[in-house]
Amino acid sequence: MVRRELAPLIRILGIADVVEAEDGVNASMAVQELLSSGEVAVVLVQKSLLRAAKLPAEIYTSVYPIVVEIPDEPHDLEVKPRDYYRDLIRKFVGYEVYLG
């Protein structure tokens, strides 16, 4: 789930099912719909949309679907990708994974 201006890039990267949302309300409704379908295992969401959406806390603690935040703001992009995704891997795998 991304904003309209990022959707073409995501499709070029090979992700066919792209949901466009312009604000937190649209993002919240779309995420709730994806979660209730039971057919989705991973949801990629722009971090700014996820911050604006009001989502239940169990989304962050449940095993499936995995909600992955895509960093999209300048201060988020200053963090090295290795450091950013290390925490995500630690959360879902359960232990530290070192990337070479």
Residue at 44 is within a domain: yes
Give the tens place of pLDDT for each residue, 33-66.
877 777 887 888 888 888 887 777 766 666 777 7
For residue 20, the enclosing domain spans: 7-72
Residue at 92 is within a domain: no
Closest CA to 35 of 4, 63, 16: 63
Predicted pLDDT at 97:
64
Residue 14 CA to residue 16 CA, distance in Å, equals 6
Instruction: Provide the strand spans (E) within 1-96.
Output: 42-46, 66-70
Instruction: Provide the whole-model pTM.
Output: 0.69
